[in-house]
A and B are shown apart, each in its own frame.
Chain A
């Protein structure tokens, strides 16, 4: 089936199979490999992308359902001027290690910073619980996000 959508601000039209997942579509058809495949059951958050500004697990989201939407991946987010703040804070607090969860984490953080849902430590812990990180122990990420939220 034919779908037409915007990916990182650029129009994309493609023929996709009805069962094709958004994650596979982005990685295999568009060569956007920043979104990662891990749990495949919408638990880990490594595949997170934004669809019309909201974080979704692209491993459990049909490409067909993104028809007519605006999709943002880490490659697109990294081009935005406000990304520099994210990069600076995550770098300074070492809020990353292996980097496999990092793109998904940043997309969730950027969307929730925008909507003001990371106001307190409790909010951060609750609202980022859908993005797992096995390396950092979360502290560096927490410190970076607290700082970013306070600066808004």
Chain B
């Protein structure tokens, strides 16, 4: 009998310092905006001042005469290509052609020797518009006889990943539906029914670095330096638009100054390429904050929901109708809506549910990805109804969740991956962290929330590891470093496989000419999927070394001697290859790769005179299977917590008749140091139940969905139930006045 004793892990599971700290702290880290390319021009975009209108004429003659202006680009320069793009639906022209469809849409662009000349030329372009009726919200858009935002039929993009897309229905470009059981009869016989209407605001991701692109076109070779999270998907869209081979498009991604989804898929790249193509020289376009706000944002949404339960608190059925405002172009709206649909039931043992989520065109700025999309939209609504059921049944909300939450292995969505997490344990941990059973002072409430987020996107990643003749390892992987720390985590993973110190591993950034394919950086997928590719690539090298040695009993100190034996001199390198491809088709219907846990708790205090909310404590659960780097995990959850508080308490893009009113940080407020909760706890749970390396699964998004829901529930526990976000003092104060009139305040 032989006994195998697992070697203790030395590289994975420790909080190795960030590999990029030195460069970033000293201001040496390069971002696209810091880069200069020889002969580079400066680009500037003319944007629509109205929400909807026909372009009658564009006069660029005065602009072209301004000294330093090299060219002005308009829609008439795009007649040699099909100028429509969109990874989900090809509905967006590179520049507005016949119509403008939102305030801020790209109408023309200038390339000039200096930023000042470009700005002056933009001001000198004369555009005449004929205004058209504005479809300013989803109600208007879905009313019968509503004006159409677009009359184009649905043309599927390269990467929607949602099966066959149905034809457009008025302004509805995509619809996601789930049905389980006999809904109406369950509702008809239920003891308790909770129902309500809810609204979620448009939100700006505010990556501090705005969208920035440098493009260079030389014959049929296109080179980009771009702030993109998914360079390989952008590469394919650029190749498709400009009709060049995929391999002729080279995208280099340096450090990103934050992403959070705002830099996912294709954004400013097509316009910059079109401008560089006309100018015949490289061009840089760097958005201002107001421009990035209308480049992509989080969907605002309206939702009707009802939940049925027995009188002793057993959840029975849920019915959801949600209208997502995707703006004038779909962007990632269809996937956002599908993910919201999956999140809408909540992770409970339902007898029946019906989910009907629509992606609706309006004359607002396009909406796409923002961290924890879909789940953030739905969780606060569903979880507030679960708490209302608990209140009406006289059951403790935590106890009600213990009784109703799905257990590991139970079905979440028909045909999809069963639950791969211990949600009951997770909720109990966060509740304890905010003092669930402690006495509460007046006007203080506590709430918990639980949900799931379909994570991982399409599981295709590859990586290459190179063991160099000096014993150092270079990892090539397409993951974008935007702050989340993949270069540090991947170095630890490669080092673990090769039994060396992670300081001897360097992880390079993406350059699509040399870095192997990685689908994307988002959906909490990088550690799990790209990390698995890195693990396999490093293991491949180890296997080659063992092959050279003829034994698996080798030490890392032997590596150089083995390489010298193999190559016969002090050069050469061993190349390891790692690939992750789907098990099954990898389709959305069969997914997700894993369910990201969205579990949190909050304790808040409301000021009854002003409606101001003070967040006393928050707790989130990073149910990560295995923490490759615990400190990075905690920092992810903390960042998501602050964004969750911003989304819950004050962040909102304010629109009036299709015009964005708060397009600067003076009047769009994001959380500062002063918004830190009194206590902020991140509980790391490691059950090794993830599909990634060493049982890992992704994190960093779940907390953003969980925190607003926990805050809403805590506020309701303090006596103020709300159905509209953000929870500004004015809204909360008005709600308190309504409660007073109904004699429901104070409790």
**Interface positions of A (Cβ within 8 A of B):** 27, 33-41, 43-44, 46, 73-75, 78, 83, 86-87, 90-92, 94, 96-103, 106, 124-126, 128-142
CB contact under 8 A between A98 and B483, given known A139-B635, A139-B676? yes
- Are B664 and A36 in contact (CB-based, < 8 A)? no
Query: By the criterion CB–CB under 8 Å, are B256 and A98 in contact?
Result: yes
- Give the most central of A98, A130, A135: most B CB within 10 Å: A98
Total contacts A to B, CB within 8 angstroms? 162
In the bound complex, CA of A129 to CA of B34 (Å): 26
Does B26 lie at the interface of the complex (its beta carbon under 8 Å from any beta carbon of A)? Answer: yes
Known interface pairs A38-B289, A139-B676. Does A98 touch B257 (Cβ–Cβ under 8 Å)?
A: yes
CB-contact partner of A140 in B22, B255, B638, under 8 A = B638
Within the complex, which residue of B27, B255, B631, B638 is in contact with A98, where a contact is CB–CB below 8 Å? B255
Query: Measured between alpha carbons, how far is A103 from B28 in the docked complex, in Å?
Result: 9
Shortest CB distance B204–A (Å)? 10
Residues of A within 8 A of B258 (CB): 97-98, 100, 134-135
Residues on the B chain within 8 Å of A129, using CB: 672-674
Q: Which residues of A contact B643 (CB under 8 A)?
A: 134
When distances are taken between beta carbons in the complex, the residues of chain A under 8 Å from B638 are 136-140
In the complex, the answer to whether B673 meets A135 with C-beta atoms within 8 Å is no
Chain A residues whose CB sits within 8 angstroms of the CB of B22 once the complex forms = 87, 91
- A91-B25, A92-B17, A134-B643 in contact; A97/B210 too (CB < 8 A)? no
Partner of A99, one of B29, B631, B640: B29
B642 and A39 form a contact (CB under 8 A): no
CB of B639 within 8 A of CB of A136, answer: yes
Task: Sample 19 A-B pairs with CB under 8 A, ordered by A number.
Answer: A27-B34, A33-B34, A34-B28, A37-B286, A40-B288, A46-B208, A74-B27, A87-B22, A90-B25, A91-B21, A96-B18, A97-B483, A98-B255, A99-B25, A100-B209, A101-B208, A126-B673, A131-B673, A137-B640
Q: Which are the 10 A-B pairs with shortest beta-carbon distances?
A: A34-B27, A99-B24, A137-B638, A100-B257, A98-B483, A97-B483, A74-B27, A33-B34, A78-B26, A39-B665
Q: How far is the CB of A108 from chain B (nearest CB, A)?
A: 11
Assembly CA distance A75 to B258 (angstroms): 22
Main secondary structure of the interface of A (DSSP, over half): loop
Q: Find chain A residues with CB under 8 A from B666 CB.
A: 41, 43
A100 to B23, CA, bound (A): 11
Q: Are A132 and B485 in contact (CB under 8 A)?
A: no
Cβ B635 vs Cβ A136 within 8 A: yes
Which B residues, 643 to 681, have Cβ-Cβ distances below 8 Å to chain A? 643, 664-666, 670, 672-674, 676, 680
A132-B208, A135-B483, A135-B639 known; A100-B31 Cβ under 8 A? yes
Question: Do B670 and A132 touch (CB < 8 A)?
Answer: yes
Most buried by B among A96, A126, A130, A135: A135
* Residues of B participating in the A interface, judged by any CB pair closer than 8 Å: 15, 17-18, 20-31, 33-34, 206-210, 255-260, 286, 288-289, 482-485, 631-632, 634-635, 637-643, 664-666, 670, 672-674, 676, 680
A142 — which chain B residues lie within 8 A by C-beta?
673, 676
Q: How far is the CB of A102 from chain B (nearest CB, A)?
A: 5
Contact of B208 among A27, A78, A134, A137 (CB under 8 A): A134
If A43-B665, A137-B640, A138-B673 touch, does A96 touch B24 (CB 8 Å cutoff)? yes
Residues of chain B within 8 A of A96, CB atoms compared: 18, 21, 24-25, 483
Given contacts A36-B257, A139-B680, contact A98 B18 (CB under 8 A): no
Bound CA–CA A125/B678 (angstroms): 11
Q: Do residues B260 and A134 form an inter-chain contact, with CB atoms below 8 A?
A: yes
Known: A134-B206, A137-B635, A137-B642. A102 touches B24 (CB 8 A): yes
Q: Identify the closest chain B residue to A31 (Cβ).
A: B36
Contact at B484–A38, with CB atoms within 8 Å? no
B672 and A75 contact, CB distance less than 8 A: no
Q: Complex Cα distance A33/B24, Å? A: 12
Q: Which B residues touch A101, using CB under 8 A? A: 208
Of B15, B24, B210, B631, most buried by chain A (CB within 10 Å of CB) is B24
Chain A residue contacts of B256, Cβ below 8 A: 98
Q: How far is the CA of A145 from the CA of B299 in the complex (A)?
A: 36
Judge whether A86 and B25 touch: CB under 8 Å.
Answer: yes
Q: How far is the CB of A61 from chain B (nearest CB, A)?
A: 17
Assembly CA distance A60 to B484 (angstroms): 30
Across-interface contacts of B209 in A (CB, < 8 A): 36, 38, 98, 100
Contact A99 B289 (CB under 8 A): no
| CB-based contact B207/A134 at 8 Å | yes
Could you say which residues of chain B place their CB within 8 Å of the CB of A39? 289, 664-665
